[in-house]
C-alpha cells in the first residue's frame, strides 16, 4: 500500500528546492531525465579522451551535482507507471510506424509509400454475447434487440438498451455463466502463435494467388509488417497491422534499402488475400485441463483490410469503403502501443481477482483473472506460465512488433536522439530531420569515453522533487502536443516527440 504524503510537507520540500542556490542545475538534470516519474540515480564519473593523442577532452563527476547523483530515465513503457517515458516510447513508435508507411523520414525513402500496403485488423472470435454499441443509419442502435427470451440461467439473451461510449456495461457479458471464459483465456494465451501462423500462411496464399511457388515469390517480393495489439472492452486482444510488399532481399543495396517489388500486386489484391488468410488460419491448442478436448482456435469474423495510399485523405478513416492515408494509420495504431491493460485498471503486478475487485475492476475482468489462475493450475506444462501474465489477462505477446525490414529500429531512433542532443551541447549546427542518421559519427570515432557508474537508488529524493518533475513532465507533453497540432505536415510534426 502506498504511503500518503502530507501535502504540507510536500509544499515545504517544493519551496526548499525552488529556493535552493543550485535549483537551475537540478532543473536541468530533471529535464535531461525527461521529468521521469521514477528515475534511476547513479553515482560515478566519465572521462572523454582523444583516441589519437590521449588528450583528456572533458571530465564529468556526480560529486558536483546538487544531489550528488546523475538522474537517468526509467524507460518504462506503461503510462500508468511513468507518463514521461511512456510518451517518449509512444512518440518513437509513431516515428517507426510512420517512417515505414509514408517514408521521407528516419532514413526511409519516400518511395515506400508507393509500395502495395494494407492496414489490417484481425479480432478474436465471440465467446458469448456482450454489451456493445451499434451504429445504424439513424445513429446509435440497440445493443442486442431480442424478444423476451432467457438463457438456461434465467437471464435475458437480448438487450434493448442504447449504450453510450461511457456506459460501464460495455464489454460485459449478457450472462457471465454462459460466457466461455476458459476458451477466452486459452485463445488469448495462444494469440501470438495464431498471429505467427497468419504471417506464414499469408505468404503461401499470396504466392498461390499470383500463380507461383513460395520460392519464386521470395525471389520477387518480401512482406514487411508492423503490428500493435489492443485490448477490446471485453478483455481480449485484437491486432492492428500495417502490411507492406517490398522488393526481395537480393535487390537491397546501400542506395536502395527498400526496393520496389518485382511483381505487380495491387493493394486491393493484397487486402483480399489478407482477408482470405485470416479466415483460414487455425491452431489446435492443448486442453486446458485433463479430460477435456483441445480447442481449435481461429480469428473472429470481423476482419478489416483496407489499402493504404498516400493519395488518401488524412481524415479519421471511419468510412469502411475508403482507402487510408499512411500517417493516419500510423498515428492510430501508435496510440495503442503503450496502453496495455491500463483501460481495465490492472496494476502490472496484480495477481488475484480479489485484489482487482478492491481496486474497482469490473466483475467480468475479475472473472477473467480467476479463470487465468484456474487454467494455470489445471492445464499442466502448457499453461503453467499463465500466472506470470495474469495482469495481461493471459496475453504473453509484445504489444508492438515489426518485421526486420519494415523501417528503422527503436535503437536507431534513440541513437539519433543522443547524437542530436550531443551536437546541441557542443554548439554544432544540427537539423532535427537529418542529424544522427549517418552510419558513423566522426565525434564518436575520434573519442573514447571511460566511465565508472554505481547504482545509488531509484526515484526522486523527496516527494517535493517528484511533484516538480511531474509538473514539468505535464508541461513538456502539452507543449509537444500543441507543437504537433500547429505543424502543417504530419511527418514533420512527429519529430517533436524525439527531440
User: Is the Cβ–Cβ distance between 146 and 157 less than 8 Å?
Assistant: yes
Do 288 and 435 sit in the same domain of this protein? no
Query: Residue 221's pLDDT is what?
Result: 96
The residue among 373, 402, 431 that closes a domain is 402
Q: Region 149-156: what's the mean pLDDT?
A: 88
**Could you tell me if 369 and 395 lie in one domain?**
yes
CA distance 449 to 91: 29
pLDDT of residue 239: 94
Mean pLDDT across 292-314:
90
In a domain, 2, yes or no: no
- Among candidate residues 370, 402, 434, the one where a domain is terminated: 402
The number of folded domains in the chain is 2
pLDDT in tens, 335-380: 766 565 566 657 777 778 998 888 888 999 999 999 999 999 999 9
Same domain, 472 and 326: no
Sequence-ordered list of residues with C-beta below 8 angstroms from that of 142, at least 6 positions apart, any chain:
134, 159, 160, 161, 162
Q: What is the mean pLDDT of the chain?
A: 85
Assess contact for 99 and 494: CB atoms under 8 A: no
**Is residue 390 located within the same domain as residue 435?**
no
Work out the percent of the chain whose per-residue pLDDT is above 90. Answer: 47
Strand partners, 238: 230
For residue 260, count other CB atoms closer than 10 A to its CB: 16
Q: Which of 147-151, 179-183, 191-195 has the lowest mean pLDDT?
A: 147-151
Average pLDDT of span 64-85? 90
Q: Is the pLDDT of residue 496 over 60?
A: no
**For residues 249-272, average pLDDT:** 92
In a domain, 416, yes or no: yes
Q: Which of 108-112, 169-173, 337-341, 458-462 has the lowest mean pLDDT?
A: 337-341
| Cα–Cα distance for residue pair 369/391, rounded to 1 Å | 8
Q: Which residues contact 220 (CB under 8 A, 6 or more apart)?
A: 212, 247, 248, 261, 262, 263
Taking the alpha carbons at both ends of the chain, their separation in whole angstroms is 36
The whole domain housing 25 covers 7-84+410-497
Q: Is residue 173 part of a domain?
A: no
**Residues 344, 235 contacting (CB under 8 angstroms):** yes
Tell me, yes or no, whether 158 lies in a domain: no
- CB-CB contact of 82 with 458 (8 Å): no
| Statement to judge: residues 351 and 477 lie in one domain | no
385 and 473 fall within a common domain: no
Q: What are phi and psi of 421, to 5 degrees?
A: -65, -40
pLDDT at 488: 42
Q: Which of 402, 426, 454 is the last residue of a domain?
A: 402
Quick one: pLDDT at residue 429? 63
For residues 391 and 446, membership in a common domain is answered with no
**Does 170 fall in a domain?**
no
Percent of the chain with pLDDT over 70: 85
Mean pLDDT, range 472-487, rounded to an integer: 67
In a domain, 77, yes or no: yes
* pLDDT given at position 168: 87
What's the confidence (pLDDT) of residue 58?
A: 86
* Residue at 258 is within a domain: yes
Q: Please, which pLDDT band fits residue 270 given cuts at 50, 70 and 90?
A: very high
Same-domain status, 278 and 201: yes
Q: What is the 3-state secondary structure (H, E, C) of the chain?
A: CCCCCCHHHHHHHHHHHHHCCCHHHHHHHHHHCCCCCCCEEEEEEEEEEECCCCCEEEEEEHHHCCCCCEEECCCCCCCCCCHHHHHHHHHHHHHHHHHHHHCCECCECHHHHHCCEEEEEECCCCCCCECCCEEECCEEECCECCCCCECCCCCECCECCCCCCCCCCCCCECCCCCCCHHHHHHHHHHHHHHHHHHHHHHHHHHHHHCCCCHHHHHHHCEEEEEEEEEECCCCCEEEEEEEEEECCHHHCCCCCCCCCCCCCCCHHHHHHHHHHHHHHCEEEECCCCCCCCCEEEECCCCEEEEEECCCCCCCCCCCCCCCECHHHHHHHHHCCCCCCCHHHCCCCCCCCHHHHHHCCCCHHHHHHHHHHHHHHHHCHHHCHHHHHHHHHCCCCCCCEEECCCCCCCHHHHHHHHHHHHHHHHCCCCCCCCCCCCCCCCHHHHHEEEEEEEEEEEECCCCHHHHHHHHHHHHHHHHHHHHHHHHCCCHHHHHHHHCC
Q: What is the pTM of this model?
A: 0.83
The CB density around residue 349, as the number of other CB atoms within 10 Å, is: 8
Q: Are 398 and 421 found together in one domain? A: no
Is residue 386 domain-shared with residue 414, that is, in the same domain? no
Is the domain of 293 the same as that of 335?
Answer: yes
Q: How many Å apart are CA 216 and CA 202, to the nearest integer?
A: 15
Residue 157 lies in a domain: no
pLDDT at 424 over 80: no
User: How many Å is the maximal CA-CA distance in the chain?
Assistant: 88
* 223 and 358 fall within a common domain: yes
Query: Quick one: pLDDT at residue 427?
Result: 61
* The pLDDT of residue 42 is above 50: yes
Q: Answer left, alpha or beta for residue 162, where phi above 0 means left and psi between -120 and 50 means alpha.
A: beta
Least confident segment among 13-27, 92-106, 268-282? 92-106
Amino acid at each position: 500500500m502506498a504511503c500518503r504524503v502530507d501535502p504540507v510537507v510536500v509544499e515545504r520540500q517544493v519551496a526548499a528546492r525552488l529556493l535552493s542556490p543550485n535549483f537551475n542545475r537540478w532543473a536541468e538534470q530533471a529535464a535531461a531525465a525527461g521529468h521521469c516519474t521514477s528515475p534511476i540515480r547513479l553515482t560515478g564519473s566519465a572521462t572523454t579522451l582523444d583516441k589519437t593523442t590521449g588528450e583528456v577532452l572533458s571530465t564529468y563527476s556526480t560529486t558536483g551535482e546538487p544531489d550528488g547523483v546523475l538522474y537517468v530515465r526509467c524507460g518504462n513503457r506503461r503510462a500508468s507507471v511513468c507518463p514521461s517515458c511512456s510518451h517518449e516510447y509512444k512518440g518513437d513508435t509513431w516515428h517507426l510506424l510512420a517512417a515505414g508507411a509514408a517514408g521521407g523520414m528516419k532514413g526511409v525513402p519516400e518511395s515506400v509509400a508507393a509500395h502495395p500496403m494494407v492496414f489490417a485488423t484481425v479480432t478474436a472470435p465471440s465467446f458469448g454475447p456482450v454489451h456493445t454499441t451499434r451504429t445504424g443509419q439513424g445513429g446509435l442502435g440497440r445493443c442486442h434487440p431480442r424478444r423476451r427470451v432467457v438463457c438456461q440461467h434465467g437471464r435475458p439473451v437480448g438487450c434493448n438498451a442504447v449504450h453510450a461510449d461511457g456506459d460501464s456495461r460495455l464489454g460485459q457479458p449478457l450472462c457471465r455463466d454462459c460466457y466461455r471464459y476458459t476458451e477466452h483465456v486459452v485463445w488469448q494465451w495462444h494469440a501470438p502463435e495464431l498471429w505467427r501462423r497468419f504471417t506464414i500462411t499469408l505468404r503461401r496464399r499470396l504466392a498461390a494467388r499470383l500463380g507461383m511457388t513460395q520460392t519464386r515469390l521470395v525471389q520477387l517480393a518480401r512482406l514487411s509488417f508492423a503490428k500493435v495489439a489492443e485490448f477490446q472492452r471485453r478483455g481480449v486482444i485484437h491486432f492492428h497491422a500495417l502490411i507492406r510488399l517490398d522488393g526481395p532481399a537480393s535487390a537491397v543495396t546501400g542506395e536502395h534499402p527498400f526496393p520496389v517489388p518485382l511483381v505487380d500486386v495491387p493493394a486491393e489484391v493484397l487486402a483480399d488475400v489478407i482477408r482470405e488468410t485470416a479466415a483460414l488460419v487455425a491452431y489446435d491448442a492443448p486442453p486446458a485441463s485433463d479430460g477435456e478436448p483441445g480447442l481449435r482456435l481461429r480469428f473472429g469474423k470481423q476482419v478489416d483490410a483496407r489499402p493504404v495510399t498516400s493519395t488518401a485523405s488524412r481524415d479519421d478513416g471511419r468510412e469502411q469503403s475508403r482507402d487510408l492515408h499512411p500517417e493516419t494509420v500510423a498515428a492510430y495504431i501508435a496510440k495503442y502501443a503503450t496502453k496495455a491493460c491500463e483501460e481495465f485498471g490492472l496494476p502490472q503486478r496484480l495477481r488475484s481477482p480479489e485484489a482487482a475487485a478492491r481496486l474497482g475492476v469490473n466483475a467480468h475482468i475479475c472473472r477473467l483473472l480467476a479463470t487465468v489462475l484456474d487454467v494455470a493450475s489445471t492445464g499442466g506444462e502448457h499453461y503453467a506460465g499463465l500466472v506470470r501474465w495474469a495482469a495481461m489477462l493471459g496475453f504473453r505477446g509484445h504489444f508492438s512488433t515489426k518485421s526486420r525490414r519494415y523501417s528503422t529500429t527503436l535503437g536507431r531512433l534513440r541513437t539519433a536522439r543522443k547524437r542530436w542532443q550531443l551536437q546541441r551541447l557542443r554548439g554544432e549546427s544540427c537539423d532535427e530531420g537529418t542529424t544522427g542518421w549517418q552510419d558513423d559519427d566522426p565525434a564518436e570515432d575520434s573519442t573514447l569515453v571511460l566511465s565508472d557508474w554505481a547504482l545509488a537508488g531509484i526515484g526522486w529524493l523527496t516527494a517535493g522533487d517528484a511533484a516538480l518533475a511531474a509538473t514539468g513532465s505535464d508541461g513538456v507533453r502539452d507543449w509537444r502536443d500543441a507543437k504537433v497540432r500547429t505543424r502543417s505536415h504530419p511527418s514533420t510534426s512527429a519529430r517533436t516527440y524525439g527531440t
